[in-house]
Chains A and B, each alone.
Chain A
Amino acid sequence: MFKKTISSPHIHSPSYSTQGMMFRVILALLPAVAVYAWLFGWGVIINLLLAVGVALSCEAAMLTVRDRPLLPTITDGSAILTALLLVFALPPLAPWWLTTIGVAFAIIVAKHLYGGLGFNPFNPAMIGYVVLLVSFPRELTLWSLPAQLSEHTLDFGSTLNYIFSGTLPAHLGIDALTSATPLDMMKTQLGLGHTTSGIIAAHPVFGFMGGKGWIWINLLLLAGGLWLIYRRIINWHIPATLLGSLFAISLLFFLLDPQHAPSPLFHLFSGAAILGAFFIATDPVTAATSNIGRLWYGAGIGILIYVIRSWGGFPDGVAFAVLLMNMAAPTIDYYTKPRVFGHGDRDA
């Protein structure tokens, strides 16, 4: 089981073409996208359409500039997947220029300047997200409330208007629509010296296991991810060790001091841990390729997520953790090369 197959996509087993893989991954994301849109409003859909449009135009433009054949690459779904993952990371009411800059940077710089799909050392969606996070920290913290909690909802027209012109209907302020995310809230309040149980009791944004609303998205992402493993689009190694190490390290600190370290379930079901584990870290281009390497790679991301969330400057650390381990992937591959049959020492 451990040392059998290397990397994807290859032609053996029930493997798929790039296009087949990409569209199955997108399919697995769709239920979560639908619930995300249902909970957080029209902004998700508008940003999604905008992001896919920008991604495809940038892809087409770069392919033209690079003298590459247009159709096979543009229809393989990779740009659409990048756009989709990025929209998941952005606030639902992100203004149009934010989405556009993020997607354009992801496709043009992170993907095509490195040689296009298959040659990019970093996950393009995460590069796009980190560029935005580093450049526009304020815009990225304006996260809208899930529908259960919000007293106001924006209809399609005013959402469209807000995203493209930045103006809200007269009776609403942006503060009435947005709040800190559960992870952000937890980090800020812990920093002020409150205890975890007090924080969870005092703020309605927290629900069973994680943030209200977020829990449903994460459960659907989990289901989608498990389906991908079942269909052998992704291997179990990276998600298992990523979530396992995040669970283990957060359990350790939770047992040591439950009043100042959130529970392991909170860490798994708030923020982007599940999305990262199944859909981002498993990107076959940027991840480690041997199976043992994948175990290390996933474990490294899980631990880095905890470290960045607990002691770093940002509420969530999935993007940084994935990028840091992307950098480490070639080294991991070097040290975990499977023994070629008939060569080398079995014990070495």
Chain B
Amino acid sequence: MSNQQYSDITRSGLWSNNVALVQILGLCPLLAVTNTVTNGLGLGLATTLVLVASNLIVSLIRNVVRPEIRLPAFVMIIASLVTAIELAMNAWFHELFIILGIFIPLIVTNCAILGRAESFAVKNPPLPAVIDALSMGIGFTIVLIVLGGMREAIGSGTLFANAHLMFGDWASVLTITLIEDYRGFLLAILPPGAFIGLGLLIALKNYFEARGKKVVKRQPLPQAAATQS
């Protein structure tokens, strides 16, 4: 494959076919855990890891597995990988594992992973499959981090709270308190905040794309139609 194709794959994963913003996949973990940057980053990295490993294995066995039984095979692979990641996180990032809770095992239900296996890895050699998984995973992680940052900043006035759970004790210095004595804006932390935040991010992406194409010039409504509404 040429460099051009690799850069297309990367661009598609990070932006034009972003898992969270365009495919709107994996919403359950996306909405549930993004109340802080740390949680978002933790889940994003775990998902990326599973995605890369599953894409690689699926791509390697793509000529061995008969098409009729490919889905059960993919599911088995993804499930084993998620179990491995879950046990690893429990061992090494125990407190973060407790916070993310059920959403680590639930990575297995993230449609993005099976989606990439089925739509990309099974048709491509290992290297492009890994690059695709990496860019998709990183695109997903970035959205998780941005959404987590928005909700954390608005909801509790901090950024990178609990970062030490992930990176060890030195990371406590990363925690930024944006506003002292902040009363907290609970809505942003609660589920509605996740939906509103994701909606705003999708709108923002669409706005950037529309502005790139120079098509935002919209005709104002005729006066009559506006007054009737």
Contact = CB atoms under 8 A, between A and B. Distances in A.
B187 A131 contact: yes
Nearest to B155: A135
A229 interface: no
A185 interface: no
Contact of A136 (B183, B190, B221): B183
B187 A135 contact: yes
B218 interface: yes
Interface stretch (A42-50, A52-60, A112-120, A141-149): A112-120
Contact size class for A? 10 to 19
B90 to A, nearest CB: 33
Interface string A67-78: 111001100000
Contacts of B2: none
Contacts of B190: 134
Nearest to B217: A67
B226 interface: yes
A117 B225 CA distance: 13
A109 B185 CA distance: 16
Contacts of A136: 183, 185-186
B186 A68 contact: no
A135 B192 CA distance: 11
Q: Which has the most chain B C-beta neighbours within 10 Å: A67, A68, A135? A: A135
Contacts of B187: 131, 134-135
21 contacts: A18-B227, A67-B218, A68-B221, A68-B226, A69-B220, A69-B221, A72-B227, A109-B196, A117-B229, A119-B229, A131-B187, A134-B186, A134-B190, A134-B192, A135-B185, A135-B187, A135-B188, A136-B183, A136-B185, A136-B186, A137-B186
Interface of A: 18, 67-69, 72-73, 101, 109, 116-119, 131, 134-137
Interface of B: 183-188, 190, 192, 196, 218, 220-221, 223, 226-227, 229
